[in-house]
Structure 1
């Protein structure tokens, strides 16, 4: 027993003696870079398409980093696959797997593990046991990667669960990576896992403190961007988003549409039933609008512009598709009245729709066109949609 413990301790000592401080400094650098990227890009990716592209790119970055790092190690080792710093590479993979919330990384990780297994199979004479071990490792990598990615928030919130999945995920990878190590014992295998767990635990605690501070800041910042009553983005957020959309059109002709609407006879609801009912009307209309947007394949953002007036920016869309979205919102609002103490309050909206045009000198040109269309609807019987003087009854 003492001999086993002695050999294990010796293997752990050897694993930590190799560039451990160097690895730790790189891990700290990783945290700093990640913090800067998250902080600097926190408000840039508002549209669904932008977030999807960032998700794909974000999932690819750690994989590319690891491949380049390993290619460099192979080059300086005379073409021989190098594993001494693989723990650091696993730290990079696991850290980004949890923090990026990138579904794409699940696929990338599986492809990488398959590539390693194929590489080992062609370069080394693997017996049936080793091949079976590698295949089991790939299956466990796929399952654990999927679970960790889908449950990252729950895992980050509990240290015991975090350590459990850290061990499962790390062990799965080493079931494949161990195939590339010749003449290694079970003690070396355990030592490498221990080093990975300790490095990742340090990363977890450092990350926890950094992210907690950042989350508090972002919550305060996000609260300032939203309307307190309805929960949708406020006028200031609309001004910023609309200017970004206009700039994107000028740079690469990325089109967008603007839907503006307000609630018909809203003042009478306030005067007749009181401001509490008026608030409920605003909240109900907002919920119906958000529901339609969540079910649509269009990339739209809703804003409360003031009072009973709302706006929807529809990215990468022409006016015809925006018109169909406006119809869905208007019909949804009309079919869901507010019930108050037995009284059924029927709700309708008046809508104006337009799209960005080549001769628009600034976003205000788009805004004025949509606003004029909105008032054309209001002045012609309400509960309707106007597009370039065309009136559509709802």
Structure 2
């Protein structure tokens, strides 16, 4: 190969390595953040894959606007297209984005109508491959086959369109394959790490046994509610401390496995009840059979009524499959937060005093003050 050809290949691999590293990272960020921001802003979901498809169109357009050699433009465009060939789950949206992205590059290359149709045909196959996305992901050799086949088609069309040297084009394609495969693995590592971080965050914020929020999140959420109180002091915040009556007796009589079953059934049912409400609220496991509930923007009367409604619902809840006739009752102590100046320890102490009064007065009741 001539010295000029070696220089072309060296430049191509250098640009492609750093481009794919940044592209993979930004794709994962956009795929995660844009739909969330869109849902928060417009209160509806964005079609799956649309953010990264739009991003692909923008990236391809920018690539072909840069003062780069045709070799580098082809490598970067094909790299972007190939990496996204299995990302979007809706093949219609993805196919539209690929065709649009490729059409942006056509006016900048002197291509014939036949080559234009050929490029669109390759992209149609790429879009169709999304129907087999799970098939491709099941075996590593299928990933490689998908990468080799699609990149070969796109490289061939691009090389013919720009009348590039055939031998150098073949060498460039062969050298790009390991980079694209490495980008695929880099993406998988990032996804695994992201899922692991999500799992760790979830486990740190949710009780392992019942799945409800933990004491650490209970403390953090109090700061969030203080922010709401600061912005609108007229909306009250109530805290209820909740205790399952005679839980030690349940453990001693039926065993700890049944006790765990009771905790799980109760916690899931109470959280389901609260999740249906149109006001801010949350259930937390403080420890053992003790739970707490935040109720925001309700009056004292309404907050107590909501808790009383649940205690009535609880009378019919089957908390154990082993002992279907077993039922539980709750003692609760509730109080209203005195404002943003009240610390959490003081608020818990006042709610606990009401909880102890409820127990002392016979249990199965709510004391609010």
**TM-score, length of structure 1 as denominator length:** 0.58
Partner of 2:20: 27
Partner of 1:269: 250
Take 1:331 and 1:343, find their aligned partners in 2: how far apart are those partners? 18
State yes or no: 1:243 paired with 2:243.
Answer: no
State yes or no: 1:347 paired with 2:328.
Answer: yes
Aligned to 1:338, the other structure's residue is in SS state: coil
State yes or no: 1:336 paired with 2:336.
Answer: no
* Contact 1:63/1:109, CA 8 A, preserved across alignment: no
Where structure 2 has 5 or more consecutive residues not aligned to the other structure, the ranges are none
Q: Is the deviation greater in 243-252 or in 20-29?
A: 243-252
Q: Aligned pair in 2 of structure 1 residues 300, 109: CA closer, same or farther (>3 Å)?
A: farther
Return the offset for 1:265: 1.5
Superposed counterparts of 1:191-202, under 5 Å: 197-202=177-182
* Contact 1:300/1:312, CA 8 A, preserved across alignment: yes
Return the offset for 1:286: 2.5
Larger radius of gyration: 2
Aligned to 2:180, the other structure's residue is in SS state: helix
- Number of residue pairs the alignment of both structures matches: 352
Return the offset for 1:20: 0.4
Take 1:32 and 1:168, find their aligned partners in 2: how far apart are those partners? 24
Take 2:73 and 2:97, find their aligned partners in 1: how far apart are those partners? 16
Superposed counterparts of 1:1-394, under 5 Å: 16-28=9-21, 60=51, 63-64=54-55, 67-68=58-59, 70-71=61-62, 73-76=64-67, 82-90=73-81, 93=84, 109-116=94-101, 119=104, 127=113, 130-131=116-117, 134=120, 136-137=121-122, 139-145=124-130, 148=133, 155=137, 158-166=139-147, 174=154, 178=158, 181-183=161-163, 197-206=177-186, 223-244=203-224, 246-247=226-227, 260=240, 262-267=242-247, 268-289=249-270, 291=272, 302-311=283-292, 318-319=297-298, 333-339=314-320, 341-342=322-323, 344-349=325-330, 359-361=339-341, 364=344, 371=351, 375=355, 378=358
* Contact 1:330/1:349, CA 8 A, preserved across alignment: yes
Return the offset for 1:245: 5.2
Aligned to 1:304, the other structure's residue is in SS state: strand
Q: Aligned pair in 2 of structure 1 residues 147, 187: CA closer, same or farther (>3 Å)?
A: farther
Q: Is the deviation greater in 264-273 or in 367-376?
A: 367-376
* Contact 1:170/1:196, CA 8 A, preserved across alignment: no
Take 1:112 and 1:244, find their aligned partners in 2: how far apart are those partners? 40
Return the offset for 1:218: 6.8
Q: Aligned pair in 2 of structure 1 residues 22, 362: CA closer, same or farther (>3 Å)?
A: farther
* Contact 1:225/1:234, CA 8 A, preserved across alignment: yes
* Contact 2:332/2:365, CA 8 A, preserved across alignment: yes
Aligned to 1:310, the other structure's residue is in SS state: strand
**CA shift digits 1:282-324 (9 cap, x unpaired):** 122123345557778988764312222334568xx85499999
* Contact 1:167/1:193, CA 8 A, preserved across alignment: no
Q: Aligned pair in 2 of structure 1 residues 237, 182: CA closer, same or farther (>3 Å)?
A: same
Q: Aligned pair in 2 of structure 1 residues 351, 147: CA closer, same or farther (>3 Å)?
A: farther
In angstroms, what is the RMSD of aligned CA positions?
6.1
Return the offset for 1:60: 3.6
* Contact 1:258/1:366, CA 8 A, preserved across alignment: no
Return the offset for 1:24: 1.3
